[in-house]
Amino acid sequence: MRGRISILLVPLAASALLPFAVFRANRIAAGEPRSLIETLGTAGASAALLALGLAIAALMVIRQPLWRLGVAVPLLVSLVLAMGWGAARLGADAPTAARIGPGAGFWIALTLAGLLLIDALARLRPGPAARLGFAAGAVALVWLLLGSGVLAELSVMEEYRSRSAAFWREGGRHLWLAFGSFGVAMAAGVPLGIALARAPRLRQPVLGALTAVQTIPSIALFGMLILPLGWVAANLPGAAALGIRGIGMAPAFVALLLYSLLPIVANTVAGLTGVPRSVTEAADGMGLTRRERLWRVDIPLAAPVIVAAARIVLVQNIGMATVGALIGAGGFGTFVFQGIGQTATDLILLGALPTVALAFVTSAVLDAAAGLLPGAAP
């Protein structure tokens, strides 16, 4: 039965036949495919094919997840490096307006190498500390690759260079939107959850209303909040001075806050009501007051479930903050929607890639954090 996963190696091998890079005369021109040989030259392509062949052969034989990981990671890194070198090579004798981006072959190989990596990781089943270490390693590696300048000739990096100031400004706004609204939601949601855990009759209506809010499509909620926030800005003294306006950050912030409440409140309630009765009775029996029991017993035991909610909310916020760009809230979504407007793939990627990376890292870190908590299930 074992070895069926090797089927993934077939498209990995086939990807070498597809265009490795895409050449554009300028940033919005139609792309022309460039094969592996055209991109890397005969010598470079031979070396790349040899490396790919070796990796595939190794993955066909090796069954140990840790060793498979040891093949998949270098494969992934060398793919990215090859892309960087290829872009530099193609860019060397092209006009400055020309852009070189990854082609279908690169994307397919990257996806499959990623799948093999994920499979090895999933089989390794690392503990929370190891997962945290792996996430840190991945971030460091990406940082190193981006900082080294090997990828500088890639079209996405060209887009970045021409608007690096805007990139970091929008990135800051994106973080503020996602994490700021999350912070406020935690401050409001956890106490609300505690209250609901004690008042079962209010639970259903409140959670029902929050579910309804979560069901509302983001663009609709963003849009509809323009109205009340515009009113607040116009009628509440000092509100406008605080930066509250009908469009912009304020409605996006409030919308994300509203979306965040359901997972936080629901999981706080579930975590607290999930504390085994024997434990709460033992705590009461030892004479803990209600407040002492809450802080020393109930909340520590509910913490993993609440952290799970934090992960869901942050991943959701990071994704939805992109939509905020439509109502002028800024964030990485600005590049995505500008890119869609100009049909500039690289600009879309400039917005989408950091968003996805941010969501991945946040999810991995919080997932591991939940596992490190003392109340976590083993």
Sites of contact with another protein (CB under 8 A): 1-5, 115, 118-119, 121-123, 203-204, 207, 212, 215-221, 223-224, 226-227, 230, 263, 266-267, 269-271, 273-274, 305, 308-309, 311-312, 315, 318-320, 322-323, 326-327, 333, 336-337, 339-340, 343, 345, 348-349, 351-352, 355-356, 359-360, 362-363
Phi/psi for 21 (5° steps) reads -130, 165
Nearer to another protein, 151 or 309 (CB): 309
The SS3 call for residue 376 is coil
Type of residue found at 154: L
- State the minimum distance, in angstroms, from the CB of residue 26 to another protein: 15
Nearer to another protein, 176 or 360 (CB): 360
Nearer to another protein, 35 or 273 (CB): 273
- State the minimum distance, in angstroms, from the CB of residue 216 to another protein: 4
Nearer to another protein, 181 or 345 (CB): 345
Q: State both tokens at 365.
A: 């870190």
The neighbour count for residue 60, using CB atoms within 10 Å, is 11
Type of residue found at 47: A
Nearer to another protein, 119 or 145 (CB): 119
- State the minimum distance, in angstroms, from the CB of residue 42 to another protein: 30
Instruction: Identify whether the C-beta of residue 32 lies closer than 8 Å to the C-beta of residue 24.
Output: yes
DSSP characters over 291-314: HHHIIIIIHHHHHHHHHHHHHHHH
Longest dimension (CA), the chain: 81
- Report which of 336, 349, 313, 350 is spatially closest to residue 168, judged by C-alpha positions: 350
| Rounded Cα distance, 349 and 85, in Å | 20
- State the minimum distance, in angstroms, from the CB of residue 308 to another protein: 3
Nearer to another protein, 217 or 378 (CB): 217
Q: What is the CA radius of gyration of the chain?
A: 25
- State the minimum distance, in angstroms, from the CB of residue 289 to another protein: 26
Nearer to another protein, 3 or 238 (CB): 3
Nearer to another protein, 109 or 349 (CB): 349
The SS3 call for residue 377 is coil
Type of residue found at 44: G
Q: State both tokens at 361.
A: 């890292």
- The H or E element that residue 34 is part of is strand 32-34
For residue 378, CA distances in Å to 23, 127, 202, 375 come to: 51, 10, 33, 9
